[in-house]
């Protein structure tokens, strides 16, 4: 393997392992089984726009893209953003998967069909007004593990909570 590629991969690995220590934002991927469950519950179809708020290493983005959706991630950990960009190139998903090094609180969610997240209670509390005010009326909102404070899910399965604005 060329030296610079080895160095790049090594830096990414170090970043994965240690970045939560200095960023203070823990990364934990959604379990594969639950990630598939989220895709099923959201009924992801070709042409849909899906956003993962705090997209981590991009697991939900690539699963949504496999089902034909346009997938967009927002992530503040630079190592995870780099990793996702690398995977987009390697998997040939340019044009179908995008990731922004940008806070979830500044995400453009206005025209999205499905909003997904696996965040922590303080994020859920801070995000809920933005989501329920800015997202379109028929948006499907899915949260893994944690719930919103002032809204009741319309359903839940295997740790995935589903919300609708119209409910
Ligand atoms: C529990 S992980 C979930 C990763 C991914 N969504 C998945 O399901 O595999 C939460 C992610 O949110 C990111 N995050 C936390 N606060 C954020 C913020 N303000 N803006 C963008 N990303 C954030 C963390 O860096 C972390 O990668």
Write the residue with the smallest CA distance to atom 20 of ligand 1: 103
pLDDT tens, position by position, 66-110: 999 999 999 998 889 999 999 999 999 999 999 999 999 999 999
Q: Which domains does the chain have, with CATH numbers?
A: 28-164 (3.40.50.150)
Ligand 1 proximal residues by C-beta, below 6 Å: 25, 27-30, 52, 54-56, 59-60, 74-77, 80, 103-104, 118-119, 123
4 has pLDDT over 90: no
Output the six-digit token pair for 113.
């069909």
Identify the burial level of 139 via C-beta atoms within 10 angstroms of its C-beta, where 0-12 means exposed, 13-18 middle and 19 or more buried: buried
Prediction pTM value: 0.91
Cα 50 to ligand 1 centroid, rounded to whole Å: 15
pLDDT tens, position by position, 51-69: 999 999 999 999 999 999 9
Write the residue with the smallest CA distance to atom 27 of ligand 1: 56
| Confidence at residue 10, expressed as pLDDT on a 0 to 100 scale | 77
25 near 77, Cβ under 8 Å? Answer: yes
Mean pLDDT of 119-133: 95
37 near 160, Cβ under 8 Å? Answer: yes
pLDDT confidence bin for 7, thresholds 50/70/90: confident
Exposure string over 9-35, b if 16+ CB within 10 A, otherwise e: eeeeeebeeebeeeeeeebeebeeebb
Cα 82 to ligand 1 centroid, rounded to whole Å: 14
Cα 122 to ligand 1 centroid, rounded to whole Å: 12
Can you tell me the distance from the alpha carbon of 68 to that of 89, in angstroms, rounded to the nearest whole number?
17
pLDDT tens, position by position, 19-56: 665 555 688 999 999 999 999 999 999 999 999 999 99
pLDDT confidence bin for 16, thresholds 50/70/90: low
């Amino acid at each position: 393997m060329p030296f610079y590629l080895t160095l790049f991969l090594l830096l990414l690995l170090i970043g994965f392992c240690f970045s939560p220590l200095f960023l203070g934002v823990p990364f934990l991927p959604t379990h594969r089984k639950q990630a598939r469950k989220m895709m099923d519950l959201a009924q992801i179809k070709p042409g849909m726009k899906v956003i993962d708020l705090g997209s981590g290493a991009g697991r939900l983005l690539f699963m949504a893209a496999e089902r034909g959706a346009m997938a967009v991630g927002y992530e503040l950990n630079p190592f995870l953003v780099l990793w996702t960009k690398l995977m987009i190139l390697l998997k040939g998903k340019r044009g179908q998967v995008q990731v922004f090094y940008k806070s979830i609180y500044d995400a453009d969610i206005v025209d999205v069909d499905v909003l997904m997240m696996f965040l922590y209670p303080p994020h859920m509390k801070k995000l809920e007004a933005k989501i329920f005010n800015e997202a379109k009326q028929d948006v499907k909102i899915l949260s893994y593990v944690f719930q919103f404070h002032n809204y009741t899910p319309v359903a839940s399965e295997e740790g995935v909570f589903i919300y609708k604005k119209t409910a």
